[in-house]
Structure formats: C-alpha cells, structure tokens
Amino acid sequence: MPRDRWSLPVVEAAEEVHRALGTGLPAAVYKAALAEEMRGRGIPFERDKMVPIRYRGLVLVTGIELDLLVGSELIVEALSVDRLTDWHRARLQTHLRFSRYPRGMLINFNVTDLRRGVHRMQRRPDR
C-alpha cells in the first residue's frame, strides 16, 4: 500500500503516547493524548469530525464520528482492545466509504509493541 505523508508522523506520535502511558487505559485517554502529541508536533488534524450519511439522496439525521482526521486525508481510530478484529476493519472501511477520504489507520494501544497494533487501509473503489 502506498504511504501517505501523514502515516509515519502519526505512528511516531502514537509511539510516544504508548511509551508514556503504556497499555490498559480506555481508548478515550489514548485519543486525547494522541491529539495533544500531534498538536505539539504540528500535525494538522480535526478531532471528533462528523461525517453525514446519505441515503437515497437524503442526509440522515445521524452520521459517523471520526476519532481523528489528519491532514484532511487520513482517518485515525484510536483503540484499546484485546485484538483488532474483522469488525474493526469493516468499520474503518465503512468510514472511508461514507467520508470519501482515501486512507485510514487503526491504532490499538493495548499491545506491548505498538507497531503490531497499527493497521493501515485504503478506501476500496466504489462498485
């Protein structure tokens, strides 16, 4: 998968958060710490960005909330789970499809080696 310009800086920021906090905390703590670490590094992002869901030409009342949108192109979901599952990957792919952003990344902070908790994805082409 081709790398975008933000994946490496985000992973490096996540590694610093992981070094400082370790494992076992709720995902919300890691998301807040990652946002602060990225802010300090000058990485542009939006937090808790809402993306509308369109159905048959209508915008539904509810939408999708993205944890972090980095550089207007990379969705980052901060997790603290035993392991990443197909459900996590499918959820990220759904976020990519409805948001139309090209790339996403799941970061599971509940691992001893953070690089093993990072999963990158690209949006699949529309059918």
Domain boundaries of the chain, sorted by first residue: 7-121
CA dihedral 9, 112, 47, 120 (to 10 degrees): 60
Closest Cα to residue 52, out of 62, 43, 44, 42?
62
> In the chain, count of helices (H) and strands (E)?
3, 5
Report the half-sphere exposure of 126 (CA within 13 A, side-chain side). 5
pLDDT beyond 70 at 3 = no
- pTM reported for the whole predicted model: 0.92
User: pLDDT by residue (tens digit) across 19-53?
Assistant: 999 999 999 999 999 999 999 999 999 999 999 99
